Amino acid sequence: MSLDPEFEDLVNLHYSRLFQFALSLTQNESDAADLTQQTFLVWANKNHQLQDRSKAKTWLFTTLHRDFLSTRRRLQRFTPVVLEEVDEELPSQAEPTGQPLDAHLVLEALSQLDELFRAPVALFYLEDHSYKDIAEILGVPIGTVKSRLSRGIAQLQQLLAAHPAEPADESVDHD
């Protein structure tokens, strides 16, 4: 695949200075190379939007700087950490309380819910729909969805509490 000669000329003309600028920002050769390549990728996809080709150099430097700032903001919000270094800061995992619920038992209890509550609970927990999606599906306001979910969950908890999960019988009769 051959490159567009105009694009190739642009890369040859500005790559070195863009890379130096990126290196001054990132202080890391690998990151600077990535940032420079990303800038040319954006150019390849959006250069048709630039009316005055004499402003290409300015556009490239501006794009590189904006990408750098965007990446830096994202890294500041989501600082990567090595888990082993912060192990003592992590919350301890709570021991499971009570018996684990049998999926069959939960589905059976769900089928016993009042019809008004069954659909929102099933759509939310079994189908992973958002409140907004459930409201659209059922044709009701989001507040109604939240209310029905709350009441449905309370009713489901009552049904499950009335029928505690029994441990599986692992004994086998060998008669």
Q: Mean pLDDT, to the nearest integer, of 162-175?
A: 55
Answer for the pair 157, 121: CB distance below 8 angstroms, yes or no: no
- pLDDT single digits (tens) 114-164: 878 888 888 888 777 889 888 888 888 999 999 999 999 999 888 888 876
Closest listed residue to residue 32, CA positions, set 51, 15, 47, 19? 19
Q: How far apart are CA 42 and CA 52, in angstroms?
A: 17
**pLDDT confidence band for 45 (50 / 70 / 90):** confident
The SS3 of residue 119 is: helix
Q: What distance separates the 2 farthest-apart alpha carbons in the chain? A: 93
Residues in contact with 95: Cβ distance below 8 Å, sequence separation at least 6, in sequence order:
none
Query: Given the structure tokens 């499950």, which residue do they identify?
Result: 160
Map out the domains of the chain with their CATH numbers. 5-79 (1.10.1740.10), 103-162 (1.10.10.10)
> CA neighbours within 13 Å on the CB side: how many for 122?
15
- pLDDT single digits (tens) 47-61: 667 667 677 888 888
Task: Give the pLDDT of residue 94.
Answer: 55
Answer for the pair 32, 26: CB distance below 8 angstroms, yes or no: yes
Alpha carbon separation from 21 to 16, 26, 39, 55 (Å, rounded):
9, 9, 12, 17
What's the mean pLDDT when you consider all of the chain? 80
User: The whole model's pTM is what?
Assistant: 0.44
Q: How far apart are CA 110 and CA 133, in angstroms?
A: 20
The SS3 of residue 83 is: helix
